Every structure is written in C-alpha cells, then in structure tokens.
Amino acid sequence: MFLKPTYLFLIITTVFLINCTSNKPEKETEELAEKMTETGQEVQPLHVVFVTGDEEYRSEESMPMLAEILQREMNCRITLCYSLDDEGYVDPNNLNHISNLDSLITADLMVMFTRFRELPDSELKHIAAYADSGRPIVGFRTSTHAFQYKTNVERQFYNEEWPARVFGQKWITHHGHFSDGEVPLTRVEIIEAKKTHPILRGVQGFDAYSWLYHVDGGNYKLSGDSEPLVMGTALRSTHEEKGKLDEFPLTNPVAWTKSYTGVYEKSSRIFFTTLGHPYDFKEIAMRKLALNGIYWALGLEDEIPEDGINATLVSEYNPNNSGMGEKFKKQLKPRVF
C-alpha cells in the first residue's frame, strides 16, 4: 500500500478536433479538460491500467502476466483493457474497440501495448486525455504505431505525430522477421554509462526474439529529451543484406526514458521499450526491465532494490508465438483482477 492523495478526475467534454494545418489537438465547443481536486490523504493502492490491443505480439497474454507480478509486488489495483469480440472474448483483430478505457480516469499509470487501432472518439478520448494529464506512461513495442486512422483525416495526428511526441518515435522500419520465434534476433545490452540508472538495477543483457526496430540514426532521431538506456544489435538484418546500414544501422536503442508535456503543460514521465515479442517475456531480465520501468515511471525508483523488482512468475506463462491473423488463443476471456 502507498500513501497518496485521492483525486477526482472530471472530464468536462469528450470532443477532439485536429487542426489540419498544425495537426495539434484543439477544441470544438469546449476543451476536453481534466481537473484534479485533492480531497485528503488516505492509504489506498495505486491504480495501474494496462491497455492491450495488438494483433501480432500477444499483448493479451504478456500484459496480464506482468500485471499479476506487479500486483504481488506493489499490492496495486489493476485494470486490464482488451480488444474484444461481440461475445466478450479477446479478439486482437478487432481494431475498433478496447474495453474499460474509462478506467484511465482514475489511473495512476497507463501501460500501453497497442498496434494500429482505429478507435471511436468515445474511446480515444480517454487515452488522449490521460496522455495530456501529466500522469506517467509505459509503452511497449508497437505503441510507436498505436493507431492507424486511414480515412479519418481529423484523427491522423494520432498515427505518427502523437506516438513520436509521447513515446519518442513513430513506426519506421525493422530489420526483418526471419525465423519468427525459432531463434533470438536481437542482442540486448545495457549502455555502460547508464548502468546505475534505477531502471537497470538487476537487469542483465540477453538475446531477444524481437526483431530490431529502427528508431534512431540515418534520417531519424528520438524526439525530445529521450535518454537511451539499453541498446539492441540485430543478429540478422534485411537492411544489411540490402546494403542500407548507413540509413538503418545494426545497433539501435531498445529502451529509453523521456518526458512528455501535453496541452495542459503538465510533464509526464515516460518509459518505452521496442522489445515485446511474447517470448521475450520468458526472460527474467525482460520482465525485470519492464517492472523497474513501471516503478520508475510512478516515481518509485527508491523502491527498486539493487537487484531489481522481483520478476519471478506468479503463474505459468506459455504464450502463443507472435504472428498475424488467427494465431492468438481463441475463447480467451479477459483477466479480471
């Protein structure tokens, strides 16, 4: 249990417009506002909301596993948000709905792992308002391309500019799938000069099944005050085969911190990693990196032991391999904590 103020979050209106010239969120009749009213000190658990919804990397399996560990270690309140079908089963191929997003109104932390969602305004508003509230965010892999609004011009700000501002980069390219899930494709190493950072306590290098994303170098640069902590080196690369390493080098950041200041001029702590293949989370170093990042984002770095947060599994973790289409587990009901 942690001592924290109780806040009342009041959403005054739910409408966003995108200025077609500047691509900045604007108001239609009134701004979507968030007011925090401190109502006194009381002992209560922190509220962590996991927003899942990707059709490739099995976030519907990895995020509940992390949430289970986090609840054990932090005794926090957990809400899981999923892409669901009409019968209430998890369906990551449903790009147009994520459940429980209104839980972000009372969240202390949003953990986001989504890919190419095209949410209605009634759902998008909760993610957008949270990001602008000054509260922390942790993001995984495909959240660099969390949304894909194909025809809604007013929402296309969220396709590339929004993740670049919030998380530090948009989707660019990767070094190739090759034998997905059969062998690791990225060597993960701690940046020596950053080894004393609280997020890296107890974290060792490992080989990840995630193929390396390009986020920095060539014509691209991580945005804002992004501070890389961990680097990845592609063990195989289509860009190397094509002679394009000057544009897309073999080594790139795979985990970093940054800040984000939204429309209300409130600064948020951000931790992001481009890792996130379902098999990556079988590695205790990956789980520890993620959990340490969550603690840091919440401002609880002093609570991280020298050997990192205890990342041992609470229950069995045997995810399906990554892959598009129908490779997710069928008839999977949402986890409720």
- Say if CB 213 and CB 274 are below 8 A apart: yes
pLDDT interval class at 25 (50, 70, 90): very low
Task: Quote the pLDDT of residue 44.
Answer: 84
Over range 175-196, report the average pLDDT.
96
| Integer Cα distance of 290 and 288 in angstroms | 5
| Integer Cα distance of 137 and 167 in angstroms | 9
Over range 92-101, report the average pLDDT.
98
Q: Could you give the angle at which helices 284-297 and 59-74 cross, rounded to 10 degrees?
A: 60
Task: Quote the pLDDT of residue 179.
Answer: 85
Summarize pLDDT for 97-144 with one digit per residue, the tens.
Answer: 999 999 999 999 999 999 999 999 999 999 999 999 999 999 999 999
Q: Which amino acid is at 275?
A: L
Tokens of 96: 């147009």
Question: 2-303 in CATH: which number?
Answer: 3.40.50.880
Over range 166-180, report the average pLDDT.
96
Backbone angles phi, psi at 228, to 5 degrees: -60, 140
Run of H or E including 166 = helix 161-166
| Integer Cα distance of 59 and 329 in angstroms | 11
Q: Name the residue among 90, 95, 94 with its Cα closest to residue 331.
A: 90
| Integer Cα distance of 21 and 290 in angstroms | 37
Question: 223: how many CB neighbours lie within 10 A of its CB?
Answer: 19
Residue with tokens 């890389």: 228
- Give the CA distances from residue 17 to residues 28, 152, 204, 254, 308, in Å, rounded to whole numbers and listed in that order: 6, 11, 44, 33, 43
Task: Quote the pLDDT of residue 121.
Answer: 98
The counts of H helices and E strands in the chain are 5, 15
Tokens of 128: 């957008």
- Angle at alpha carbon of residue 288, lines to 300 and 314, rounded to 5°: 100
Backbone angles phi, psi at 139, to 5 degrees: -125, 150
| Integer Cα distance of 294 and 288 in angstroms | 10
pLDDT interval class at 42 (50, 70, 90): low
- Say if CB 258 and CB 166 are below 8 A apart: no
Summarize pLDDT for 298-326 with one digit per residue, the tens.
Answer: 999 999 999 999 999 999 999 999 999 99
| Integer Cα distance of 209 and 217 in angstroms | 22
Summarize pLDDT for 45-84 with one digit per residue, the tens.
Answer: 999 999 999 999 999 999 999 999 999 999 999 999 999 9
Beta bridge partners, 109, equal 48
Burial of 284 (0-12, 13-18, 19+ CB in 10 A): middle
Q: Where are the domains of the chain?
A: 2-303
